[in-house]
Structure 1
Amino acid sequence: MFDSEDAERKEARGKLLIDHPGIFNGNAPLWFYILREAEIAGNSQHLGPVGGTIIAEVLAGLIREDRHSFLAQWPKWRPTLPSAVAGHFTMADLINFTNG
């Protein structure tokens, strides 16, 4: 939760950006948009939907295109865990497995 000083600072930064006559007005670069989205949507604690999607897609693309990656070496490998239902693997299954 924000305290009043954080809320005021955030509001002041937002107003500065809206009122700024410079080149960012209506034309923010992607990196700035991603950081601002993280500040608003994620309370500056994590990326927002756009930033998170871009990072995930870049990492997945790097792994997919790397001929030395685990996925390239064993493309038919599928995770299995004793606690998971066959053919259905979730993050909860992984957490339960590691805590067990």
Structure 2
Amino acid sequence: MSDSQAQAYGKANQPAQTLQQSPQQQKIANKILEIKYNRIEELNNRLKQSLQKERIPASSVSLLIINNTQTVPDYLIPYLWKLDPKLSKFRQYQQLKESRAEKEVNVGCCTIV
């Protein structure tokens, strides 16, 4: 064997020599590997559980939202209240406001003192 081949052979065997560790170091390395494995396993289980959850397509959800907005009265939008105008306090207020506005039109906009 030539010198260059011997050097290459020696370099190739260096990692094998560094892998030889004391029993205490091997125990620590094994514990670290076991902890890493357990974390990966927990993550894998969580991902499996998330895949098992029921999925609802966006199109069906949008239909549910549309049906809900059409059937449930929204009290912020008066025309969706579906109340009789006589029972609607907002409608009564609007009518009172309109009647006051009609009366004020005849009075004028300015007062001169």
- Is the pair's TM-score, using the shorter chain for normalization, greater than 0.5? no
TM-score (norm 2): 0.25
Structure 1 or 2: larger helix share? 2
Choose 1 or 2 for highest CA Rg: 2
